[in-house]
Amino acid sequence: MDDLQNQKKPEKESGAEDKKAELAYKLLVQIRSYADKLLWTRVNTMLIIQGVLFSFIATSFSSLVDKFPLIIILMSIFGLISAYFLWYITMGASFWVSYWEKKLSEIEHEALGEFEIFRNHPHYIPEARKRLKREGYKSTRKGIVTLSFIFIIIWMALIFYTIIIIAN
């Protein structure tokens, strides 16, 4: 934080406008941090639900499918619905985190001077994003979106598989 305070301000009058920009920047950082925290809290909760459902189905599938196939189907439908919500929550929360990061990048110069945090974020600079991908960078938010989509496919496959077994 000391580095932020010791950076040079742009060549202009220091005054009320600088204070407003700094205050707005601090507020936006807090909002962005809160949005990011909500994202991961929600994702973790949904991943726990997915894990519990999947582990239950995996351990009891063979014993339940013959006697209680409806339980397997209902739990799989619940898994599918919760996987969809995981995907939906991740997409929505990622949008808001990115939205606040964009707002921060817009006022960063006024608030922090030459010190760049969000202005050089790879999300907003295509060349930087390509370079980081070549170097092996992976986005955790995109990873969770992909994982949630995989859960959707798994639950759909399990529903169809159970229906095929019941039909035979």
CA atoms within 13 A on the CB side of 105: 14
pTM: 0.74
Q: Where are the domains of the chain?
A: 16-167
Q: Position of tokens 């301000």?
A: 9
Using one digit for the tens of pLDDT, what is the confidence trace for 31-61? 999 999 999 999 999 999 999 999 999 999 8
- For 65-111, the pLDDT digits (tens) are 888 889 999 999 999 999 999 999 999 998 998 888 888 888 888 87
* Residues 73-84: b if buried by 16+ CB within 10 A, e if exposed: bebbeebbebbe
How many beta carbons lie within 10 A of that of residue 29, not counting itself?
A: 16
Query: What pLDDT sits at residue 81?
Result: 96
**b/e map 35-53, b = 16+ CB within 10 Å:** bbeebbebbeebbebbeeb
